[in-house]
């Protein structure tokens, strides 16, 4: 099974394609969609949409896990991250990819067994689980890998229920 994990953001959207064979994750490819600060929000959202469509066309994931927007100290930040999530969800829907959403707590629980794990603990566990030589950078990419793993775990649980 091939899963796309996404950590949405306007400046940086982390993404990861992970194959799961017999429950073992294999990171196929991962990276980030970066948008320039000087561009308009419209241009940045368009760039996320276009780049994500390229990823979807190239890797053809069967499912997608995406982190939810829970809370931001800055309302303006929350709004633009929500807008980025919107164009991401649109692209996924247009490709008919089933979506599972996860809170940061759910992702941490899946990766480390503890919902209040530190970012560093999650990153180290992602490195170990995916058998990587180093922690992917920027942090949003490691988070996207974690979301893909959480999505696989959720799908396994759905099968049991």
Which CATH number is 82's domain given? 3.30.420.10
Q: How many CB atoms lie within 10 A of CB 30?
A: 21
83: containing domain: 2-160
Residues 133-142: tens digit of each pLDDT: 999 999 999 9
pTM over 0.85: yes
Q: How many CB atoms lie within 10 A of CB 95?
A: 15
Q: Domains in the chain: how many in total?
A: 1
Residues 15-34: tens digit of each pLDDT: 999 999 887 899 999 999 99
- Does the pLDDT value for residue 77 go beyond 80? no
Catalytic amino acids? 7, 67, 140
**Model confidence band, residue 153 (pLDDT cutoffs 50, 70, 90):** very high
State the binding site for Mg(2+): 7, 67, 140
- How far, in Å, are 30, 51, 88, 101 from residue 104 at the CA level? 19, 24, 18, 10
């Amino acid at each position: 099974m091939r899963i796309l994990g996404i950590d949405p953001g306007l400046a940086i959207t982390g993404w990861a394609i992970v194959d799961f064979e017999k429950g073992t994750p294999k990171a196929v490819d991962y990276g980030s969609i970066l948008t320039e600060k000087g561009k308009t929000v419209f241009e940045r959202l368009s760039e996320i949409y276009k780049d994500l469509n390229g990823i979807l066309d190239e890797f053809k994931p069967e499912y997608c896990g995406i982190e939810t927007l829970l809370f931001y100290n800055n309302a303006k930040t929350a709004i633009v991250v929500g807008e980025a999530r919107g164009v991401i969800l649109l692209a996924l829907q247009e490709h008919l990819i089933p979506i599972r959403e996860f809170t940061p707590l759910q992702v941490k629980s899946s990766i480390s067994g503890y919902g209040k794990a530190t970012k560093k603990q999650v990153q180290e566990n992602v490195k170990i689980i995916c058998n990587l030589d180093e922690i992917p950078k920027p942090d949003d990419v490691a988070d996207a890998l974690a979301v893909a793993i959480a999505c696989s775990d959720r799908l396994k649980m759905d099968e049991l229920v």
